[in-house]
Structure formats: C-alpha cells, structure tokens
Amino acid sequence: MKICEDLIECWIRLSALIWNNRITKELTYYEATILRELIRQNGNPINATALTKKSGMKKPQMHRILRSLEDRGFIVRETDSNDRRSQNIWIHPSAVDVYYSDHNRVLSLLSIVVEEAGDELVYEFIDRADRMAEFFNYAQEIINREG
C-alpha cells in the first residue's frame, strides 16, 4: 500500500534526523533517556528492572548502557541488601551537569523549530505524534501476539 510506503519514508526521514545528526555532544539518545529517568528519581535509587520497563529498552541493551555510564562515572550501582539479584542505581552528581548541557542543546534546537513552525503547528504535531504512537503500540502488540 502506498500510504504504508509513505509512512516508512517519513519514519526514515525523522529517524535519520534524530540519529544521524547528533544534537548532543556527550550522550547517546539511550544514555540521555536513562539519565533523565534517574534525575526524575530525585536522589532515590531505582533498580535496573524498573528502569528497563520505564525506558522500554531490552534488558541486554540496558545493562550494556548502564555499564558504559558506570565506566564513565555517571552512575553508581549497588547490590540491593534485600535482594542480591537486584541492583539499585543512582545518578552521580557530575552526570547531572552533562545531562543538562546536552538537554539545553536540544532545547535550543527545538526553540528554533517552535519559532519557525509556530506554537499551534507544534502542538498539533505533538498531539498527532502521541496518537500515532498509540497506534504503533497497538500494532506491535498484535504482531507480538501473532508471533
């Protein structure tokens, strides 16, 4: 179907803009996603399983990124005293500055987009993108059920 092909083209264009034009200097998309969630914890630890669920990442991918963040000194991991199979994760204070430095670069880019497109078009895009995300999630559930 042509509309599905057009949707693929749009998806590829947006993905290429996000992935290929590294807006951030220090962090990958997934690293920033993890650090953002750790910042949202307000100093409280979160375990890797909960972090995996909140981010939507696969477990091996999460552990690889956590190892990288730990090697760079951005997170602290500690075995949970109540469950030796679980690890509690905190953000290191130095990572907060790195995260916000990259976050502010993204905000600068997006402020130009908003200025050019206008608030109304941007909110319309957000609403439609959120709605499309719901459709994609639904379709993925169907595909996963069918095997």
pLDDT at 22: 67
Say which CATH number the domain at 96 has. Answer: 1.10.10.10
> 21 pLDDT exceeds 80?
no
Residues 6+ apart with CB under 8 A from 89: 38, 45, 46, 47, 48, 51, 66, 75, 76, 77
Q: What is the pLDDT of residue 49?
A: 87
pLDDT at 16: 79
Q: H/E/C letters for each residue in the chain?
A: CHHHHHHHHHHHHHHHHHHHCCCCCCCCHHHHHHHHHHHHCCCCCEEHHHHHHHHCCCHHHHHHHHHHHHHCCCEEEEECCCCCCCEEEEECHHHHHHHHHHHHHHHHHHHHHHHHHCHHHHHHHHHHHHHHHHHHHHHHHHHHHHC
* Residue 5 falls inside a structural domain: no
102 belongs to a structural domain: yes
Residue-wise pLDDT for 67-121, tens only, equals 999 999 999 998 878 888 888 899 999 999 999 998 998 899 899 999 999 999 9
- The count of domains in the chain is 1
Q: Please, which pLDDT band fits residue 54 given cuts at 50, 70 and 90?
A: confident
Q: Is residue 8 part of a domain?
A: no
Burial of 35 (0-12, 13-18, 19+ CB in 10 A): buried
The answer to whether position 113 is within a domain reads yes
Q: Report yes or no on 6 lying in a domain.
A: no
Report if residue 7 sits inside a domain: no
Domain of residue 130: give its range. Answer: 24-146
pTM of the predicted model as reported, rounded to 2 decimal places: 0.78
> What is the maximum alpha-carbon separation in the chain?
56
Q: Is residue 19 part of a domain?
A: no
Quote the CA–CA distance of 53 and 31 in Å, as a whole number: 15
